[in-house]
Amino acid sequence: MIDAIIFAMTIVLPNLALMWLGFFMKRRGEADQVFIDQASSFVFNYCLPCLLFFSVVDSDVDYAKQVVLIGAGIVVTFILFIGSELYAKRFISDPANQGVFVQGIFRSNMAIIGLATVANAYGTTGLSIGAVYMGVVTILFNILAVITLSRVSKSIEDTWLSRSTMIIKKLFTNPLIIALVAAFTYKALPLPPIAGVIHITGGLLAAVALPLALICAGASINLKSMLHPSGLSMQASIGRIVIAPLVAIAVGFAFGLTGVHMGVLFLMVASPTAAASYVMAKAMGGNDILAANILAFTTVVGMFGMAIGAAILRAMGLI
């Protein structure tokens, strides 16, 4: 059990340390909102795409064997989405809160905290598998998020056609998805390995991605929102921190996942609510204050939930 606890601390504490550094920099005035916005944009548009591209291109992972893992991830996402939709329709009356609540439960922070934790746990192999998983499930996340948030329509021009167009545009212009498609295409073609200046430059950008993203996440934490959550945000946080990981474990068992695949599924699903959930909720007329509260609480508390879950699964020999 001691080894399992050490494993859990090893994969979570580095992330918490970098997030604390970002929070500390924000308190000292060394990381203002302009810095956070610019650094986050830099990570999303340049560093993370390089990380995903080279993690796939440089790996020897058989991606055909990831079908079961991806299938399990899709099933988990739909279970969380449908379950939270039914709960929201039954217990939440305000449409502006319903979609935000649902998104806060099913949409996890795979691109930053999920990938960083998987990389800490399993190294480059886990990172490559996690990148493939994230690429497919991210597409589903975007589609379901637009569906659940579209119940709050501010404009007569906001139709299913316009929403569908927005989904397609987001998918085809998403740098992370573009990077993954490019990587799979490169590996599928009889092309020589990427080396020299291009590989070194890409590797340097990739190395920046997760540390800088975690620092920005820490700098974005709102203590007031985290320490004074509303009843609704607490319900959504419980869904994300407790229910989602349990669903992931159950589905992983049902799909026969073990080892690194079970570990990737658990860590990706158990990650806190995605930062993009706040941006999308605000853009589509949802309750952005509720979204911020869910994001703040799950970002900090969810990390400890990941550590506890990882320790238990490791002690049982499942990851």
Sign of dihedral through CA atoms 73, 78, 80, 81?
positive
- Average pLDDT over the chain reads 85
Q: What pLDDT is stored for residue 158 in this prediction?
A: 61
Q: What pLDDT is stored for residue 80 in this prediction?
A: 97
Kindly report, residue by residue over 82-97, the tens digit of the pLDDT: 999 999 999 988 888 8
Task: Tell me the mean pLDDT in the region 311-319.
Answer: 87
pLDDT band at 277 (very low <50, low <70, confident <90, very high): confident
Q: Does the predicted model carry a pTM greater than 0.85?
A: no
For each of the domains in the chain, give its residue range(s) and CATH number, in order of start.
Answer: 2-315 (1.20.1530.20)
Residue 126 has pLDDT above 80, yes or no: yes
Cβ neighbours for 59, distance < 8 A, ≥ 6 positions apart: 124, 125, 128
Residue 267 has pLDDT above 70, yes or no: yes
Q: What pLDDT is stored for residue 230 in this prediction?
A: 66
Sign of dihedral through CA atoms 113, 118, 124, 130?
negative
Q: Which residue has the higher pLDDT, 64 or 253?
A: 253
pLDDT band at 265 (very low <50, low <70, confident <90, very high): very high
Sign of dihedral through CA atoms 307, 308, 311, 312?
negative
Kindly report, residue by residue over 175-216, the tens digit of the pLDDT: 878 888 898 888 888 888 888 899 999 999 988 888 888 888
With both helix axes pointing from N to C terminus, report the angle between 259-270 and 288-315 in degrees, rounded to the nearest 10. 160
Q: Which two tokens stand for residue 132?
A: 């493939």
Task: Count CA atoms closer than 13 A to 21's CA, side-chain side.
Answer: 12
Q: Of 189, 58, 52, 254, which Cα lies nearest the Cα of 133?
A: 52
Q: What pLDDT is stored for residue 225 in this prediction?
A: 65
